Structure 1
Amino acid sequence: METLIMVGQLLLGLSILVGVHEWGHMVAAKSFGMRVEKFSIGFPPKIWGKQIGETEYSIGAIPLGGFVKITGMIDESLDTKTLSAEPEPYEFRAKPAWQRLIVMMGGIIVNVVTGIIIFIGLALANGEAYLPKEELNKHGIVAYDLGEQLGFQTGDKILAINGQDYERFSDLMSPDLLLGTDNYYTVLRDGKEVRVEMPNDFIDKFADKKNREFVIAPRWLFSVESIMPGSNADKAGLEAGDKITAINGKEVKYFDQLSSTLDQLKGQTVTFEISRNDELINLDIPVGDDGTIGFYQNREIAYVSRDFTFGEAISEGTYNAFAVVWLNIKGFQKMIAGDVDVRKSLSGPIRIATFFGGTWDWNNFWRIVGLLSMVLAFMNFLPIPALDGGHVMFLTWEIVTGRKPSDRFLENAQKVGMVILLSLMAFVIINDTISLF
Structure 2
Amino acid sequence: MDIVIKLSQFLLSLSLLIILHELGHFIPAKLFKTRVEKFYLFFDVKYSLIKKKIGETEYGIGWLPLGGYVKISGMIDESMDKEQMALPPQPWEFRSKPAWQRLIIMLGGVTVNFILAFIIYIGMAFAYGDTYIANEDLKDGLNIESQAMMKAGFKTGDKIISIDDEKLEKIDNDLNMNLVMSKRVLIDRNGVQKEITMPIDFADQRKEEGVPPASMRIPFYINEIPAESTNKNLKAHDLLLALDGQEAKYMDQVKKILLNNKNKTITATIIRNQKEQQIQVVVSKDGKLGVQLGELEASLLAKLGYYKITEKKYSLTESIPVGLKRGKDKLFGYGKQLKMIFNPETKAYKQVGGFHAIYNVFPNTWSWEVFWNITALLSIMLGVMNLLPIPALDGGHVMFLLYEIISGKKPSDKFLENAQMVGFVLLITLLLFANGNDIYKAIVGK
Q: TM-score range by the shorter chain?
A: 0.7 to 0.9
Specify the SS of the correspondent of 2:70.
strand
Q: Which residue of 2 aligns with 1:252?
A: 248
When structure 1 is superposed on structure 2, of 58-67 and 310-319 the one drifting more is 310-319
Per the TM alignment, residue 252 of structure 1 is displaced from its structure 2 partner at its CA by 2.6
Q: Does 1:371 align with 2:377?
A: yes
Q: Which residue of 2 aligns with 1:111?
A: 113
Q: TM-score with structure 1 length normalisation?
A: 0.86
In structure 2, relative to structure 1, the CA distance for the partners of 1:265 and 1:311 (3 Å cut) is farther
Q: Which residue of 2 aligns with 1:197?
A: 197
**1:296-329 Cα distance to aligned partner (Å, 9 max, x none):** 4453221212112222321122222233332233
**1:42-78 Cα distance to aligned partner (Å, 9 max, x none):** 1123111111111111111111111111111111000
When structure 1 is superposed on structure 2, of 242-251 and 1-10 the one drifting more is 242-251
CA distance in 2, matches of 1:405, 1:295: 65
CA distance in 2, matches of 1:110, 1:40: 17
Q: Which residue of 2 aligns with 1:96?
A: 98
The code of the aligned residue for 1:412 comes to N
**1:3-55 Cα distance to aligned partner (Å, 9 max, x none):** 44333322221111111111111111111111111111111231111111111
The code of the aligned residue for 1:126 comes to Y
Structure 1 gaps of 5+ residues are: none
In structure 2, relative to structure 1, the CA distance for the partners of 1:54 and 1:199 (3 Å cut) is same
Given that residues 128 and 306 in structure 1 are in contact (C-alpha distance below 8 angstroms), is that contact kept between their aligned partners in structure 2?
A: yes
Candidates 152, 161, 169, aligned match of 2:171? 169
**1:324-356 Cα distance to aligned partner (Å, 9 max, x none):** 332233233333443422433422101111111
Q: Which residue of 2 aligns with 1:219?
A: 217
In structure 2, relative to structure 1, the CA distance for the partners of 1:54 and 1:82 (3 Å cut) is same
After TM superposition, the structure 1 = structure 2 runs for residues 313-392 of structure 1, keeping only pairs within 5 Å, are 313-392=319-398
CA distance in 1, matches of 2:261, 2:111: 58
CA distance in 1, matches of 2:107, 2:368: 29
Specify the SS of the correspondent of 2:292.
coil
CA distance in 2, matches of 1:16, 1:264: 55
Candidates 74, 79, 94, aligned match of 1:72? 74
Q: Which residue of 2 aligns with 1:16?
A: 16
After TM superposition, the structure 1 = structure 2 runs for residues 223-242 of structure 1, keeping only pairs within 5 Å, are 227-228=223-224, 236=232, 238=234, 242=238
Per the TM alignment, residue 291 of structure 1 is displaced from its structure 2 partner at its CA by 5.8
Structure 2 gaps of 5+ residues are: none
Q: Which residue of 2 aligns with 1:121?
A: 123
Given that residues 231 and 293 in structure 1 are in contact (C-alpha distance below 8 angstroms), is that contact kept between their aligned partners in structure 2?
A: no
In structure 2, relative to structure 1, the CA distance for the partners of 1:3 and 1:343 (3 Å cut) is farther
Q: Count residues with an aligned counterpart.
A: 429
**1:93-152 Cα distance to aligned partner (Å, 9 max, x none):** 12111111111111111111111111112222221122222321x222322133322212
Per the TM alignment, residue 198 of structure 1 is displaced from its structure 2 partner at its CA by 2.0
Given that residues 39 and 70 in structure 2 are in contact (C-alpha distance below 8 angstroms), is that contact kept between their aligned partners in structure 1?
A: yes
Given that residues 14 and 64 in structure 1 are in contact (C-alpha distance below 8 angstroms), is that contact kept between their aligned partners in structure 2?
A: no
In structure 2, relative to structure 1, the CA distance for the partners of 1:270 and 1:3 (3 Å cut) is farther
CA distance in 2, matches of 1:357, 1:249: 42
Specify the SS of the correspondent of 2:82.
coil
Q: Which residue of 2 aligns with 1:303?
A: 309
In structure 2, relative to structure 1, the CA distance for the partners of 1:209 and 1:128 (3 Å cut) is farther
CA distance in 1, matches of 2:97, 2:155: 65
CA distance in 1, matches of 2:333, 2:354: 18
Given that residues 282 and 289 in structure 2 are in contact (C-alpha distance below 8 angstroms), is that contact kept between their aligned partners in structure 1?
A: no
Per the TM alignment, residue 88 of structure 1 is displaced from its structure 2 partner at its CA by 1.9
CA distance in 1, matches of 2:125, 2:142: 28
The code of the aligned residue for 1:258 comes to V
Per the TM alignment, residue 246 of structure 1 is displaced from its structure 2 partner at its CA by 4.5
CA distance in 2, matches of 1:348, 1:338: 19
Given that residues 133 and 167 in structure 1 are in contact (C-alpha distance below 8 angstroms), is that contact kept between their aligned partners in structure 2?
A: yes
When structure 1 is superposed on structure 2, of 365-374 and 237-246 the one drifting more is 237-246
Q: Does 1:417 align with 2:423?
A: yes
In structure 2, relative to structure 1, the CA distance for the partners of 1:39 and 1:289 (3 Å cut) is farther
Q: Which residue of 2 aligns with 1:281?
A: 279
CA distance in 1, matches of 2:432, 2:163: 40
Q: Which residue of 2 aligns with 1:152?
A: 154
**1:266-309 Cα distance to aligned partner (Å, 9 max, x none):** 9x997663445344334669999996435544532212121122
Kindly report the root-mean-square deviation, in angstroms, between the aligned alpha carbons of the 2 structures.
3.4
CA distance in 1, matches of 2:201, 2:267: 43
Specify the SS of the correspondent of 1:77.
coil
Q: Which residue of 2 aligns with 1:293?
A: 292
In structure 2, relative to structure 1, the CA distance for the partners of 1:292 and 1:52 (3 Å cut) is farther
Specify the SS of the correspondent of 1:139.
coil
In structure 2, relative to structure 1, the CA distance for the partners of 1:40 and 1:165 (3 Å cut) is closer
Given that residues 342 and 349 in structure 2 are in contact (C-alpha distance below 8 angstroms), is that contact kept between their aligned partners in structure 1?
A: no
After TM superposition, the structure 1 = structure 2 runs for residues 40-51 of structure 1, keeping only pairs within 5 Å, are 40-45=40-45, 46-51=48-53
